[in-house]
Amino acid sequence: MLNPRESVELTRLREEDKPELQQQFQEEVLDGRVLEGDFSEQLTKRAALFLRFTGADNEWRDGLRFLRRLTAAALFLAFLLGTLAAAQAFPPLQTQEPVNFFWLLAVLIGLNCLSLLLWLFLVPVPQLLPGSGHSGGTLATQLLQIFASRQWRVSQALADWLKLRGKGRAGTWRFSRLSHLLWLTYLLGGLFMILLMLFTRQFNFIWETTLLDEQTFNVLTNILNGLVAPIGLQGPDLEAIRQSQRGSPAELLASHRTAWAWLLIGTLIMAGLIPRLLLAIFSHYMIRRAESRAETDLADIYFVGLRQSLLPVSHRLGVRDADQHPPPALTARAATGASALPAGLEESDENTLLVGLELPFDDHWHPQQLSGRYLGNLSDRDSRQRILDEIRRHPQQALYVLTDVRRAADRGLGERLRELKQKSSGVFRLLLLIPPLADPEAESSDKRLADWYRLAYACGLEDTQILRTEFSAEDPSP
């Protein structure tokens, strides 16, 4: 089932894919309804209502059911392939040829070991693994939709699943877990067929070579003996290895067949089954770990836009009369924040400190047009020192930091914002000045608004400390 974060993300995906759904949902479900709680809680409640309204929750369940069936079919197919591969590795039933032990072992677990080494190589480079890139996600989507092409609901749910659970670190580990489970069932099928063959038929095992010497096979066999020893199995000794070379009498080969058979079974378990089982468990743990650390990016432009509809609290910064000598005026029309200001500060007053953070307005802009005491525009070393000294003298007074969202939210601005917050022990607010829609830079400012929210969160600000207001530069009449 969907967890709260996934419900919110699925709602975002559906609304961005079909904007008309958002308008319809707003008119038919949310009209006049008040959602209780903070912004995160309201998002979760809104997502539950949206998914129920659009039927996306039922589509998700149908998609998961289809995906489970598809996974079960793939695991069953892997088991069958393992049994067939093991059966083909042995000599035909009508022949009495001895089995080349090392060739049989290479056929059974050689490709598995290569796949395992490749996976271990790619783990430090996650962008090369499935689920970490857009191309991999698109290919997986196309493959899954081949099976679900006749059912639009299932196809849509699978596309949503890949976007929610098939990407990022959790998605990478999810595909890794599936890969390990497929190999595990393949090896289980091979082990099943080997046991069936060894229980019902009689095989002699040999080794042979053209270029290698006997000492090489002694070393390889001793390594395998050490590998299977922890589970209580014992393979052939040096004398048995020497007597198992091709060309040895059948009576000698028969006396060592049991030791070679147990070595084959033990190697398949220790070098194939157990590593895949442990890695599948480890991948499952890493999925849970990645999911527990995943957070919704509330600074995304989608969530920034939802704040105004879910938390429509307006705040005016008390615009005063224009000066006798008219400068370009900053007209604050609707400062909208994540929540209401504390009681007693619904309007800024004479005790409010106002600081501009590298505002682009010219030097003739008069800050007296805003209620409160303007300390200046923090744009260089001198202004920084003067403003910080003034805040130190009045640390308990409310501090409003004004900045233009058209300005790039870089690391330098973040350091200055963090410094201002640390020096102020009273009410602290970041006021994001947004140009009106008619402004030619409005579109670019919308994109940078999400960056400003990310910067504010990184500086330790909460939703209640971030306000937004639309402004315009006008020439008031004298």
Identify the three-state secondary structure at position 5: helix
- Tens of pLDDT, residue by residue over 115-134, are 999 888 877 665 555 555 44
Query: What crossing angle do the helices spanning 250-268 and 101-122 adopt, rounded to 10°?
Result: 20
Same domain, 157 and 265: yes
Give the pLDDT confidence score for residue 189 in this predicted structure. 95
Q: Are 311 and 337 in contact (CB under 8 A)?
A: yes
Q: Provide the pairing of β-strand 428-434 with 399-404.
A: parallel
Query: Which of 54, 80, 96 is where one domain is finished?
Result: 54
The DSSP annotation for 68-98 comes to HHHHHHHHHHHHHHHHHHHHHHSPPTT--PP
Same domain, 337 and 456: yes
Q: Quote the CA–CA distance of 187 and 175 in Å, as a whole number.
A: 18
Domain range holding 203?
58-293
Lowest-pLDDT choice from 65-69, 351-355, 360-364, 402-406? 360-364
**Does 301 fall in a domain?**
no
Q: Quote the CA–CA distance of 352 and 370 in Å, as a whole number.
A: 10
- Tens of pLDDT, residue by residue over 160-210, are 888 888 888 888 888 899 999 999 999 999 999 999 998 888 888 888 887
Same domain, 87 and 195: yes
| pLDDT confidence bin for 467, thresholds 50/70/90 | confident
- Tens of pLDDT, residue by residue over 240-290, are 888 777 766 666 667 778 888 999 999 999 999 999 999 999 999 999 999
**Does 262 fall in a domain?**
yes
Same domain, 240 and 262: yes
Query: Which of 243, 272, 293 is where one domain is finished?
Result: 293
Q: Quote the CA–CA distance of 156 and 64 in Å, as a whole number.
A: 11
Q: Are 314 and 335 in contact (CB under 8 A)?
A: yes
Same domain, 45 and 112: no
**Does 298 fall in a domain?**
no
Average model confidence (pLDDT) for the chain?
A: 78
Same domain, 107 and 179: yes
Residue in 467, 436, 460, 359 with CA at minimum distance from that of residue 404? 359
Q: Quote the CA–CA distance of 409 and 403 in Å, as a whole number.
A: 10
Q: Quote the CA–CA distance of 80 and 93 in Å, as a whole number.
A: 20
Tokens 């608004």 belong to 449
**Does 299 fall in a domain?**
no
**Does 148 fall in a domain?**
yes
Same domain, 242 and 328: no
Give the pLDDT confidence score for residue 477 in this predicted structure. 37
Same domain, 455 and 424: yes
**Does 300 fall in a domain?**
no
Which of 76-85, 440-449, 459-468 is modeled with the greatest confidence? 76-85
- Tens of pLDDT, residue by residue over 405-463, are 888 888 888 888 999 988 888 888 888 887 765 455 555 566 678 888 888 888 888 87
Same domain, 149 and 207: yes
Domain of 376, CATH number, reads 3.40.50
**Does 318 fall in a domain?**
yes
**Does 284 fall in a domain?**
yes
pTM of structure: 0.73
Same domain, 133 and 21: no
For the chain, the domain total comes to 3
Give the pLDDT confidence score for residue 464 in this predicted structure. 76
Same domain, 145 and 218: yes
Lowest-pLDDT choice from 69-83, 132-146, 211-225? 132-146
Same domain, 17 and 130: no
Share of the chain above pLDDT 90, in %: 15
Query: Which of 267, 293, 319 is where one domain is finished?
Result: 293
